[in-house]
A and B are shown apart, each in its own frame.
Chain A
Amino acid sequence: MAETQVHAAHHAPSQGFIRKYVFSVDHKIIGIQYLTLSMVSAFIGMALSWAMRIHLAYPDFRIPILGWLSPNGAPNGLMTPEYYLSLMTMHGTIMAFFVLTAAPFAGFGNFVLPIQVGAADMAFPRLNMSSFWVTFVGFLLAAATFFIPDGPPLSGWTAYAPLSAVGSVAGPGQGLGQTLWVLSIAMFCVASLMGALNFIVTTLDMRTKGLTLSRLPLSTWAWFIDAWVSLLAFAVLLPCGLLLALDRLGGTSFFIPGGLVFNDQLQPHSGGSPLLFQHLFWFFGHPEVYIIILPAFGIVSHIFPTFIRKPLVGGWKVITFAEIAVGTLSFVVWGHHMFVSGMSPFMAMVFSVPTLFITIPSVIAVLVWVFSLYGANIRFDTPMLYSLGFVSLFITGGIGGFFLAQPSTDSYLHATSFVVGHFHFTMGLSAIFATFAGFYYWYPKIFGRTMNEKLGKLHFWLSFVGVYCVFITLHLTGFAGSVRRYSAFVDDFMIPLMPAQRFMTISALLLGAAQFIFLFNAIWSRFKGPKSSDNPWGATTLEWATTSPPPFDNFGGRQLTVYHGPMEYDDEASVMQTSPEASIAGT
């Protein structure tokens, strides 16, 4: 292995538990911190979805722990409609921000990206540390809403004004709870902006010798594109949050129209526009779903070649340009969330057309993955199973997108559970599956031990089937007119759908239970799993050219030189990026 030896006293690892594991500037520790925070958040979010599903299917069932958590919101464990909305809000907030945005981008990106580009750390390690801790404070603020008397806000993860802007008169949780929520999201914005800045500069300026942009691993490409999308999108959510905070705390009327009556009280505001809030929010909100899914594209594109033992169809270019196209178009389609908001009908057309166009690069990416499988000698290890699962979920969910992209069909479907099923498939579970793929794939690198393969496969199949049972059924009930955001279907035309609701609830409980297999596997393998070699999957990128787990400066003082692209595979043979041997796949 040819590499320039740089004899050096590297910036030494900090001593002491606090500097080494808590307030650490090491990108690997920060990555693990993000992943841990996401995992905790994911289980909280999942518990919330369990509570909601149980209430939907069995409206009389009492959940004692909810009664303990909020005596007002769930007296004797039976949740009020308002508390249902609070749980829904926090499920969305925690999952969208602290799981889906944090894990595949900040979590894996932090751990893997600097190693993949051959750097000793991020470009700005202390900024990196602050990103995590600001995120963490944001998480604490969001979590704190459960423990205040009125409970969490009930305006949804989108916090639509004026419901979110007028204060406690709008319902329980709309006082202090919503204020904490706004602060939490503002913190998250700041943290994401710092993280995105760091990722961009690291990718551009910290690449080791020979690692030209055309040789970047596909996951690095995706994180890089994603960082740009984050940088521009969160830059607009921040003012949106600040203006909302001003409406709540400063008495302004940016988002509150005149003559508004809440709970029989005329609000002392006038002249604002709820549509302005929706515009600013969705200007961020739509890129946000691509902020969530682009790292998933990258992780899956990175894992595929390793397990199909050949380069992706079209090389690095097609998939990367598809990602760039998706990232760019994601900024011009936000209005499709607002077809039923009273937006200018002319603008509905303006937003509908690019929404249909954005399927083109998405379909190109999907075709790259599917065509790459043709004639390949596929290794069905758990990371590959999850990658295939991702492709399946993304296709299934994406088909629903055609219906929702058009104002005419969206008008009917918008307020139904069809939309809920659609976004859970496309951004929620696709990204979760890619995160699992990345977790099983990089686990040996992160902890130096391998996860149990049998438990991994069991976890995959239970999750895969469970996801389809829950979310395909949501699509179907949505077609049948089942309204979203309702806490109970007790007295109208939705009663015939109750068997479907019960089926979804039972499936969701089993699906959630299957995640404990994963939790057990992750914790048990950390201590008892078989020791992993440096390169257990026979992969070619730089993270596999160092020890498992990597030393503090990632390469033990070596400075690597890169000679190849990341996809040098030909069945059993593969060539490391750092190897000066001749190319075999011509990438």
Chain B
Amino acid sequence: MSSNRELTMSSYVGIGVGLMLIVCVEVIFTYQHMAPHTLLFALLCLACLEAYVGVMYLMHVKYERPILFWTIFPATLFVLGFLCYLFPDAFRMLNMRLMK
């Protein structure tokens, strides 16, 4: 059942260091004077990568049955994906509000 025997403790440490490196890359990006939306896109991609690695290896979904993956990811992404429907109104807010 719980088969995180597949990974040794040293590979976990490697994953931890890798995640920390991604965070460092994020910080470096932050100071590259990118346009806000470019920076946001880059940061979100890296954060999703971290979350994926974390869920698959630290929480060892990779070593559980595939059905667990197919339960949690679609359900969460479904909700978070459709919450994006909020944003058209956020952009309208910039133009339509009477007082700043």
Contact between chain A and chain B defined by CB under 8 Å: yes
* Residues of A participating in the B interface, judged by any CB pair closer than 8 Å: 228, 232, 235-236, 257-259, 270-271, 273, 275-276, 279-280, 283, 328, 331-332, 335, 343-344, 346-347, 350-351
B82 interface neighbour in A235, A258, A275, A331, Cβ under 8 Å: A331
Check A258/B97 contact, CB under 8 A, given A228-B75, A236-B79, A331-B82. Answer: yes
CB–CB B99/A344 < 8 A: no
Task: Give Cα A411–Cα B97 distance, bound, in whole angstroms.
Answer: 23
B65 within 8 A of A: no
Check A344/B89 contact, CB under 8 A, given A258-B97, A270-B99. Answer: yes
Contacts of B100 in A (CB 8 A): 258, 270-271
B1 within 8 A of A: no
Those of B56-88 within 8 Å (CB) of chain A: 75, 78-79, 82-83, 85-86, 88
B93 within 8 A of A: yes
B98 within 8 A of A: yes
Task: Give Cα A328–Cα B77 distance, bound, in whole angstroms.
Answer: 13
Contacts of A331 in B (CB 8 A): 78-79, 82
Check A279/B82 contact, CB under 8 A, given A257-B99, A258-B99, A259-B99. Answer: no
Task: Give Cα A279–Cα B93 distance, bound, in whole angstroms.
Answer: 14
CB–CB A273/B93 < 8 A: yes
A347 interface neighbour in B78, B79, B83, B88, Cβ under 8 Å: B88
CB–CB A279/B85 < 8 A: yes
What are 20 contact pairs spanning A and B, CB under 8 A? A228-B75, A235-B79, A236-B83, A257-B97, A259-B99, A270-B99, A271-B100, A273-B89, A273-B90, A273-B93, A275-B89, A283-B83, A331-B78, A331-B82, A332-B82, A335-B85, A344-B89, A346-B88, A347-B85, A350-B85
Interface string of B20-33 (1 = CB under 8 A from A): 00000000000000
Q: How large is the interface on B (under 10, 10 to 19, 20 to 34, 35 or more residues)?
A: 10 to 19
CB–CB A259/B98 < 8 A: yes
B5 within 8 A of A: no
CB–CB A279/B89 < 8 A: yes
Chain B residue at minimum C-beta to C-beta distance from A232: B79
Contacts of B88 in A (CB 8 A): 344, 346-347
Chain A residue at minimum C-beta to C-beta distance from B89: A275
Task: Give Cα A275–Cα B82 distance, bound, in whole angstroms.
Answer: 16
Which 7 residue pairs spanning A and B have beta carbons closest together? Answer: A258-B99, A259-B99, A344-B88, A279-B86, A275-B89, A232-B79, A347-B88
Task: Give Cα A347–Cα B82 distance, bound, in whole angstroms.
Answer: 12
Nearest-Cβ distance from residue B97 to partner chain A, whole angstroms: 6
From A257, A344, A346, residue with most partner B Cβ within 10 Å? A344
Task: Give Cα A346–Cα B75 distance, bound, in whole angstroms.
Answer: 26
B37 within 8 A of A: no
Task: Give Cα A480–Cα B93 distance, bound, in whole angstroms.
Answer: 35
Nearest-Cβ distance from residue A557 to partner chain B, whole angstroms: 28
CB–CB B89/A343 < 8 A: yes
Contacts of A257 in B (CB 8 A): 97-99
Task: Give Cα A165–Cα B1 distance, bound, in whole angstroms.
Answer: 49
Nearest-Cβ distance from residue A266 to partner chain B, whole angstroms: 10
Contacts of A347 in B (CB 8 A): 85, 88-89
Nearest-Cβ distance from residue B87 to partner chain A, whole angstroms: 10
CB–CB A344/B92 < 8 A: yes
Nearest-Cβ distance from residue A258 to partner chain B, whole angstroms: 4
Contacts of B82 in A (CB 8 A): 283, 331-332
Chain B residue at minimum C-beta to C-beta distance from A338: B89
Nearest-Cβ distance from residue A244 to partner chain B, whole angstroms: 16
Contacts of B85 in A (CB 8 A): 279, 332, 335, 347, 350-351
Chain B residue at minimum C-beta to C-beta distance from A257: B97
Beyond known contacts A271-B100, A346-B88, A351-B85: 8 more, CB 8 A cutoff: A228-B75, A236-B83, A273-B89, A275-B93, A279-B86, A283-B82, A331-B79, A347-B85
Nearest-Cβ distance from residue B99 to partner chain A, whole angstroms: 4
Task: Give Cα A235–Cα B82 distance, bound, in whole angstroms.
Answer: 14
Task: Give Cα A350–Cα B90 distance, bound, in whole angstroms.
Answer: 16
Chain B residue at minimum C-beta to C-beta distance from A335: B85
Task: Give Cα A236–Cα B98 distance, bound, in whole angstroms.
Answer: 29
Nearest-Cβ distance from residue A83 to partner chain B, whole angstroms: 32
Task: Give Cα A506–Cα B88 distance, bound, in whole angstroms.
Answer: 46
Contacts of A343 in B (CB 8 A): 89
Nearest-Cβ distance from residue A402 to partner chain B, whole angstroms: 22
Contacts of B83 in A (CB 8 A): 236, 283
Contacts of A344 in B (CB 8 A): 88-89, 92
Chain B residue at minimum C-beta to C-beta distance from A275: B89
Nearest-Cβ distance from residue B91 to partner chain A, whole angstroms: 8
Interface string of B39-66 (1 = CB under 8 A from A): 0000000000000000000000000000
Chain A residue at minimum C-beta to C-beta distance from B92: A344
Task: Give Cα A232–Cα B78 distance, bound, in whole angstroms.
Answer: 9
Task: Give Cα A277–Cα B96 distance, bound, in whole angstroms.
Answer: 17
Nearest-Cβ distance from residue A439 to partner chain B, whole angstroms: 32
Nearest-Cβ distance from residue B84 to partner chain A, whole angstroms: 11
From B89, B92, B99, residue with most partner A Cβ within 10 Å? B89
Task: Give Cα A328–Cα B78 distance, bound, in whole angstroms.
Answer: 9
Task: Give Cα A524–Cα B99 distance, bound, in whole angstroms.
Answer: 63
Chain B residue at minimum C-beta to C-beta distance from A278: B89
Chain B residue at minimum C-beta to C-beta distance from A341: B89
Contacts of B93 in A (CB 8 A): 273, 275
Task: Give Cα A447–Cα B92 distance, bound, in whole angstroms.
Answer: 58
Task: Give Cα A66–Cα B95 distance, bound, in whole angstroms.
Answer: 47
Nearest-Cβ distance from residue B94 to partner chain A, whole angstroms: 11
Contacts of A271 in B (CB 8 A): 100
Contacts of A236 in B (CB 8 A): 79, 83
Task: Give Cα A270–Cα B86 distance, bound, in whole angstroms.
Answer: 20
Task: Give Cα A430–Cα B75 distance, bound, in whole angstroms.
Answer: 28
Task: Give Cα A280–Cα B82 distance, bound, in whole angstroms.
Answer: 11
CB–CB A276/B99 < 8 A: no
Task: Give Cα A452–Cα B89 distance, bound, in whole angstroms.
Answer: 55
CB–CB A232/B75 < 8 A: yes
Task: Give Cα A560–Cα B97 distance, bound, in whole angstroms.
Answer: 64
